[in-house]
């Protein structure tokens, strides 16, 4: 077996990355709606095909096409109409050249979540890796809720079914009374109910993973109000969010004051965030919140 597979132009197989056909003349990958350039790492035309996104289950249009039919305003990466799957190809795929979809990993997260929720409930959190933790995705947490509910439900029915009665009769045999008894099944059922209740609390109270850092709210005033960042602060902030711009996900080269210096923004960590040159300059004297509102209003060409 070869040490590595490198796709060259001479490769007779025209189906390349995620099974899309590569045009031999242009070297571009055909994504139904658009061509994707492996060389440039982006689509060569913007995503604004009319028709709106397709619902994966009903094949109907869930939303009427608006000014940004393939953009999700809560995911700023989706505003980049040339990017492939929000610049996150490990997590998303793009079957038709429009929006990226989270498919395989979502399903896997959910199924693993169901098993984790069930085993954490049965073991009172002792089963390794079963308890909720802060790196869980929201999907995994939903799965854990389902697993926990299943164990709780089985526990309730086992508890009810495990309580029986025996006839206790006096030695003379004259009077018999039905006395309730608790069978081992009911004990196990109660334990499952208590374990599920405990895990439900953990599932609710443990924070889930933040998807990226996201823009900061900002902070103003104090001794560092209106000050520039020091080279050391700059170095630290540029490592946040994997070195990517908090607004668009491109490589960050700038440190942005979430609340601008001109408006008393300080150099506390909660006011400094990595940004690309484009976002930092178009943000100008706006706060993070104002800039996001501005992005939403602005029609992306
Ligand atoms: Zn940016």
**Who's near 258: CB < 8 A, 6+ residues apart?**
215, 216, 217, 218, 219, 265, 270, 271, 272, 273, 287, 288
Tell how far the Cα of 249 is from the centroid of ligand 1, in angstroms. Answer: 6
Tell how far the Cα of 255 is from the centroid of ligand 1, in angstroms. Answer: 11
Tell how far the Cα of 12 is from the centroid of ligand 1, in angstroms. Answer: 39
Least confident span in 146-150, 164-168, 194-198 = 164-168
Edge-to-edge strand list for the sheet holding 42-43: 28-31, 34-37, 42-43
Tell how far the Cα of 55 is from the centroid of ligand 1, in angstroms. Answer: 30
Does 183 score more than 70 pLDDT?
yes
The pLDDT of 42-47, averaged and rounded, is 54
Q: pTM above the 0.75 mark?
A: no
Q: pLDDT: is 143 or 36 the higher one?
A: 143
Digit-coded pLDDT (tens) for 281-301: 999 999 999 998 888 787 555
DSSP conformation letters of 56-106: TTT-S-SS---SSTT--TT-GGGG-TTSSGGG-TTT-B-SSSSS-B--HHH
Taking the C-alpha atoms of residue 226 and residue 196, their distance in angstroms, rounded to an integer, is: 52
Q: Report yes or no: 71 and 79 within 8 Å, Cβ to Cβ.
A: yes
Tell how far the Cα of 277 is from the centroid of ligand 1, in angstroms. Answer: 7
Measured CA angle at 126 (ends 124, 128), to 5 deg: 135
Tell how far the Cα of 86 is from the centroid of ligand 1, in angstroms. Answer: 13
The pLDDT of 62-87, averaged and rounded, is 51
Domain locations along the chain? 106-205, 231-297
What local confidence, expressed as pLDDT, does residue 292 receive?
86
Tell how far the Cα of 254 is from the centroid of ligand 1, in angstroms. Answer: 9
Res. 144 pLDDT band, cuts 50 70 90: very high
Helices (H), the chain: 104-123, 138-161, 184-205, 231-237, 277-283, 288-297
CATH 1.10.30.50 fits 231-297, yes or no: yes
Does 50 score more than 80 pLDDT?
no
> In the predicted model, what is the mean pLDDT of the chain?
75
Res. 101 pLDDT band, cuts 50 70 90: very low
Tell how far the Cα of 283 is from the centroid of ligand 1, in angstroms. Answer: 10
Res. 42 pLDDT band, cuts 50 70 90: low
What local confidence, expressed as pLDDT, does residue 17 receive?
52
Digit-coded pLDDT (tens) for 216-275: 889 999 999 999 999 999 999 998 887 889 888 889 999 999 999 999 999 999 899 999
């Amino acid at each position: 077996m070869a040490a590595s597979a490198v796709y060259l132009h001479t490769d007779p197989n025209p189906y390349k990355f995620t099974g899309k056909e590569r045009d031999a003349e242009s070297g571009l990958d055909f994504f139904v709606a658009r061509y994707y350039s492996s060389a440039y790492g982006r689509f060569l035309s913007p995503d604004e095909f009319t028709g709106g996104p397709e619902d994966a289950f009903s094949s109907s249009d869930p939303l009427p096409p608006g000014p940004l039919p393939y953009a999700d305003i809560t995911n700023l990466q989706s505003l980049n109409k040339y990017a492939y799957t929000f610049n996150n190809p490990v997590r998303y795929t793009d079957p038709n050249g429009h929006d990226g979809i989270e498919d395989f990993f979502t399903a896997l997260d959910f199924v693993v979540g169901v098993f984790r929720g069930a085993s954490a409930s049965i073991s009172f959190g002792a089963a390794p890796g079963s308890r909720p933790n802060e790196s869980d995705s929201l999907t995994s947490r939903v799965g854990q809720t389902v697993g926990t509910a299943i164990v709780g439900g089985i526990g309730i029915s086992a508890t009810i079914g495990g309580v029986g009665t025996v006839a206790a009769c006096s030695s003379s045999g004259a009077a018999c009374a039905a006395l309730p008894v608790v069978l081992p099944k009911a004990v196990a059922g109660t334990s499952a109910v208590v374990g599920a209740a405990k895990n439900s609390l953990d599932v609710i109270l443990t924070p889930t993973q933040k998807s990226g850092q996201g823009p900061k709210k900002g902070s103003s005033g104090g001794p560092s109000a209106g000050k520039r960042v020091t080279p050391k602060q700059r170095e630290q902030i540029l490592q946040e969010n994997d070195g990517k711009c908090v607004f668009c996900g491109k490589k960050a080269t700038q440190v942005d004051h979430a609340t601008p210096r001109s408006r008393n923004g300080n150099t506390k960590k909660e006011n400094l965030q990595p940004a690309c040159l484009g976002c930092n300059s178009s943000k100008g004297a706006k706060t993070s919140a104002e800039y996001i509102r501005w992005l939403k209003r602005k029609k992306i060409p």
